[in-house]
Structures are given as structure tokens and as C-alpha cells.
Structure 1
Amino acid sequence: MTDGRELLWDGCLNVRDLGGLGQIRPGALVRMEAPTRLSEAGWAAAWAYGVRAVVDLRNAEECEPDWVGRPVGMTVVRAPLDPVGSPFYEHWTKLDGLSSPLHYPALLAEHPELVIAAVRAVARAEPGCVVFHCAGGKDRTGLLALVLLALAGAEADEIVADYLLTYERMKPRYVEMGARDQLTAVRELVAGHGTTVEASLTATIGSLAMPSFLLGNGLSEADLTALQARFT
């Protein structure tokens, strides 16, 4: 259930407020797929909702031009979460295509600096609502959401349910691309490794000691305070 968290921004399918999960207030953080297709009305709705900063988790080569211009005054910060060219990237691209939660523990352990950079971007964003996204709003966006929600004290089942919502919301886009049902595909993939999507996510959440993970990997106390203030 989204409990009214879903947002209707014309041109995108997978937009929702994280408010109401843990200690996060409505209007603080929004997750979505790449906003490339937002119409003028879609961008106007985002601006009216209070969005003043966008954190883009994609690598530069993935970025495509927006269909229409973004509102003047809305800042964009890039914080790529895929360590392209690293042994991690080569290994997990072959193993799960970076399209399942299986790789989350390895990324958190081997490249925490990327996660910290993304969290720092949220903490230091302009006053107002912050949107963060990758391409489909599922895996990289899902990992950052998991980290932020864990810090905010959300229950594991809430975090898992929020992650799973993207598969349903993005179904029309998968059909458009001619792709098979992605939830079925990912469930089969993780089952081949002896687990489930839910169990994999729950294990990752349980392994994160907050805020120790963030502070121990380079987030400053000032940024942590700013982040918690943004939540509440």
C-alpha cells in the first residue's frame, strides 16, 4: 500500500513520496524513474509540490535530453551509484545485470563512497523537496531509498513493500520496451541463488547499523544532522 504517497506527474509512472515511512515527513523526499518524459505539466506539478533539487544516480552516458525544459531554479546533482569499470561492476553485470537486490550488500561493502556521495547530495540539496532517481527508479533508486529509510527508522517490511511497488508501476514501460514481466524475471534470478527478493532485501536492511554505516564511511556529523532535519 502507498497510503496516498503516489504522485501524478504527467509523463512519468513511478513517482512516490517517501513521507510516512519511518520518520520521514511528506514533501521531503520523492523517488521516481528518470524524469526525461515529464511534460510541462509534469514539471509544473513537481515544482508546485516543492521540488527544488534532483539527485541523478545514473552514469553520464545514460543521460538523455529531457523532452521539455525543467523549471528555472531546480538544481541537479549527479551522484552515480554504478562503479563502471571496477571489478565489482564487471562481476555483478554478469551475475545479475545490476537489476536485482542481490548486489546491494556487495556495493555497500565495496563501494560505500558512492552511497555516501548520494546521501550527501540529499543532505546538502536546496531547501525544499528532493527527488532522486536512476533510469527505471528501481535498483539504484531502491538502494538509496533503502539506506535513507533505514536511517529514518522505517520497518523492514515497509522498505521491501516500497521497493516492490516499482515493478507494478513500471509495467507499461516494460511492455513498451518488449521486455518480459520484470518481477517474474528477478524472482527467478534470485531463486537461482537460493533466496527471494524479500529475504535478500531484509538481510541487507538488517545488516545496516545506522547511523554508524554512514558516519564510518565518511558522512560528516553536519551532513547527518542536515539529513535528519530534512526528514522531519
Structure 2
Amino acid sequence: MPLTQLHARNLRPLGRVARADSLLTVYRSAALCRLGNGELAALARAAGPLSYLDLRTAPEIAADPVDERLGATVLHRPLAVPGGVRWQGNYDVEHLLAAYAAYAGQAYAAVEAIAQWTTVAGPANLVVACSAGKDRTGVVALMLSRLTGVPAENAIRDFAASFPHVMPPACDPDSPYGRSFRSRRHEGPDEIAGRFLELAPPLPTETAAAFLAALGGAPWSWWDGASRSFRNGI
């Protein structure tokens, strides 16, 4: 199955940069250790050699080690909610937005890592992943979208696309986990993403400059999930 048709566990392209001798693609995903054999096989066929930007914290990685089935080169840029911002067990929209805002400042380090990767990647494509591939990966994707000229409605659509695949059918709707998704559905992940884009801290000028310098004038294209094709960005 082509990767562009593979939706499970939030695995899909984000964008790509054209180099003189290759096209380097950035994908978003759940942690590689959460992908099934079929999904990994599709990723290997589509992506070939990989670099892997892991957004999980050290305790998460210790509990669920990085999967080495694809032999990926691993970069670590952990995103964690700082003390004072409660998020686990508090699933209403305002808590989600507070958590996402806390992630945003750290997400720029991940965007800078993506910029650095474009200069040294060689033939390797890049996978950006947290655990489930929705919240932290979604925040990084939104920050990257801001930087690379993705229209806001497309960035929001990509963010919202991660959520239908998460809540298992057997989940108790009155459990904390179930209430989290009732809350998200009440406002909708697209509305949440739109509000987050309005509230997120501004992009540091040095991050934008580093990203554009790393591209060195090479064109960046973003993935349009609606048309299932790449569109010209910066």
C-alpha cells in the first residue's frame, strides 16, 4: 500500500525539500515502535533510509524503546509540559490549549532540528513522531506549517485529521480518556487548532532565518491531504 494512502497511526507526509540530486521528505507519525509490520513496510518502501526526530521524553523512551527495525538515525528533541501546567487528567479545551502553548516554545527546537536535517540528510528522509503522533507531533506540524507557507485552513485540516484514529471503540465515554475526546469533539479539533494558531507564541526570527538559510533557496513543498499531492510553499 502506498504511504500516501496509509492513514493508520497518523502516518503521512508533511512536506519535502528539493535538492539537486534528491527529494527529501518529512513525514509525521506515531512512534515507530507503535507501527505494525505492514505500516513499517510501507514506510520503508516510500521513505528508504530514515532519520527519526523523536519528541518523546526520556522516561517514555525508557519504557518504550526506539524501534530499530528500520535502522533509523535518531534525533531527540523532547517536548514535555512544564510544571504548573496540568494536562493529564484535565481534558477540557482550555487545558489542551495551555498544554499546546507550553509545547510550542519547545517545538521551535524541533523545527530547528528539521532545518539542520535538511543540510546534512544525504539520502535520508525524516520522520517526526511523539507517542501517538497527534498532540506533540501536531504542534510541531503546526509550527512548521507557519514557517513554510502552508495556508492556515490546510494546517488545521492536517491537525484535525489525527484525532479520528485515536479513541478505541471500546473506550468508556465516561472515563477520563473518553471525556477528553467528548470535550474535543464538542469544540472540534479544527476549532482547537485554529485557536492554538492564534494563541501560539510568535516564531523566533532566528528560527525562521535558520530554516530559510538551511534550505539555501531550495523549494519547499507542503502536503495537501485533501488533494493528496504536494503544493509549492516557500
Normalised by the length of structure 2, the TM-score is 0.68
- Change in Cα spacing, 1:83 to 1:207, as seen in structure 2 (3 Å) is closer
Q: Distance in 2 between matches of 1:96 and 1:28?
A: 33
More strand by proportion, 1 or 2?
Answer: 2
> Could you report, residue by residue, the CA deviation over 1:22-63 in whole angstroms, capped at 9, with x for unpaired residues?
x87886211111111335554343233225211111101112
Identity of aligned residues (%): 25
Q: Distance in 1 between matches of 2:200 and 2:183?
A: 27
Q: State the match for 2:224 in structure 1.
A: none
SS at match of 1:87: coil
Shift of 1:80: 0.8
Q: Distance in 1 between matches of 2:146 and 2:208?
A: 18
Q: Distance in 2 between matches of 1:6 and 1:27?
A: 19
1:153 corresponds to 2:145: no
Shift of 1:146: 0.3
Shift of 1:92: 4.1
Structure 1 residue aligned with 2:196, among 204, 208, 216?
Answer: 204
Structure 2 residue aligned with 1:140, among 117, 136, 140?
Answer: 136
Q: State the match for 1:62 in structure 2.
A: 60
> Could you report, residue by residue, the CA deviation over 1:117-171 in whole angstroms, capped at 9, with x for unpaired residues?
2112212222332111111111101100001112121122211211111122334
- Change in Cα spacing, 1:71 to 1:200, as seen in structure 2 (3 Å) is closer
Q: How does 1:1-232 map to 2 (within 5 A)?
A: 5-7=4-6, 13-19=9-15, 28-39=25-36, 42-50=39-47, 51-63=49-61, 64-65=64-65, 69-72=68-71, 74-84=72-82, 86-88=83-85, 91-93=86-88, 95-96=90-91, 100-108=96-104, 112=105, 114-125=106-117, 126-127=121-122, 128-171=124-167, 174-175=168-169, 180=178, 183-188=181-186, 197-206=189-198, 213-215=203-205, 218-219=206-207, 221-226=209-214, 229=218, 231-232=220-221
Q: CA RMSD in A?
A: 3.5
Shift of 1:100: 3.2
Q: Gapped runs of 5+ residues in structure 2?
A: 222-234
- Change in Cα spacing, 1:27 to 1:224, as seen in structure 2 (3 Å) is closer
- Change in Cα spacing, 1:176 to 1:52, as seen in structure 2 (3 Å) is farther
Q: Gapped runs of 5+ residues in structure 1?
A: none
Shift of 1:102: 4.7
SS at match of 2:164: helix
- Change in Cα spacing, 1:124 to 1:24, as seen in structure 2 (3 Å) is closer
SS at match of 1:82: coil
Answer yes or no: is the 8 Å Cα contact 2:87–2:99 preserved in 1: yes
Q: Give the number of aligned pairs.
A: 202
Look up the equivalent residue of 1:132 and give its one-letter code. V
